[in-house]
Amino acid sequence: MKHERGMFMQSATPKDRKTGMVSFFPMNFTQAKALITEVHKEIPEAILDIACLNSPKNIVLSGDADALEYAIQILATPEFGVKSKAIRLDVSAPFHSRYMQTTHSILTKNLSAMKMRGSTAPVISGLNHTLQRQVPDHLIENFVPLTSDTVNFMGAIEQANNILHTQSQTIEKALWLEIGPKPTLSSFVSQTLDGVTPLSLCSAKDIRDLLKNKEAVSLLIGANKSK
């Protein structure tokens, strides 16, 4: 299934264009927009989009490989005024860029024809970081566009934090648990929010370490008592 999904995404990329994704740290949204503007001065026809707003200090760009390489060259010059580390990502396609618009259209068509059961579990969209309580009612409108648009992790994290504090005015510390195969979001949380303890549960060892963490256990017990 994973292989088929990867081939599906790759098919949206022109065969005659080399593409990729690069993560820049530290870099903010304003700096990323300025960098793209500089690239377009040299390569006007280049497709280069902001793929992810991971945190106030981390931006991912996606698009043409030559545009990404030129962006890295610009950052190496003192004239641009931004010192940022560039990490080339090992990806099969330029995700969250205009190259994925074909995928966006296909997903919209297929999902529109499907009958899906609704869920009242709240989900925060990475597109416009709004809280959606009826999924899949808003699936096509607020989530499918993420295939070809910017994923705003930073906005989603901030919105989740706002909801947490709205529900309880007595919260002084918060524990964020990330459950998944890789510790991807924890660093974004720590860069975005103050007074938050992010922990990733990716293995049995992580769970054992969590249980040994007295502060984390205390926060978990407090959260359960408040329900």
The residue to which tokens 């300025």 are assigned: 34
**For the chain, percent of residues with pLDDT exceeding 70:** 81
Q: What six digits make up the tokens of 16? A: 């005659």
Q: What is the largest CA-CA distance in the chain?
A: 59
Q: Could you write out the three-class secondary structure of the chain?
A: CHHHHHHHHHCCCCCCCCEEEEEEECCCHHHHHHHHHHHHHHCCCCCEEEEEEEECCEEEEEEEHHHHHHHHHHHCCHHHCCCCEEEECCCCCCCCCHHHHHHHHHHHHHHHCCCCCCECCCEECCCCCCEECCECCCHHHHCHHHHCCCECHHHHHHHHHHHHHHHCCCCCCEEEEEECCCCCCHHHHHHHCCCEEEEEECCHHHHHHHHHCHHHHHHHHHHHHCC
Q: Is the dihedral of CA 113, 116, 118, 119 positive or negative?
A: negative
Is residue 1 over pLDDT 70? no
Q: What is the pTM of this model?
A: 0.80
Q: Note the pLDDT tens digit of each residue in 75-118.
A: 999 999 999 999 999 999 999 999 999 988 888 888 888 887 77
Which tops the pLDDT comparison, 131 or 222? 131
pLDDT in tens, 43-62: 999 999 999 999 999 999 99
**Least confident stretch, 2-6, 47-51, 125-129, 167-171:** 2-6
Q: Number of C-alpha atoms within 13 angstroms, CB side, residue 35?
A: 31
Contact indicator for 153, 188 with CB cutoff of 8 Å = yes
Residue 168: pLDDT band (50, 70, 90) is low
Per-residue pLDDT band for 222 (boundaries 50, 70, 90) equals: low
Tell me how far apart the alpha carbons of residues 21 and 76 are, in angstroms, rounded to a whole number. Answer: 18
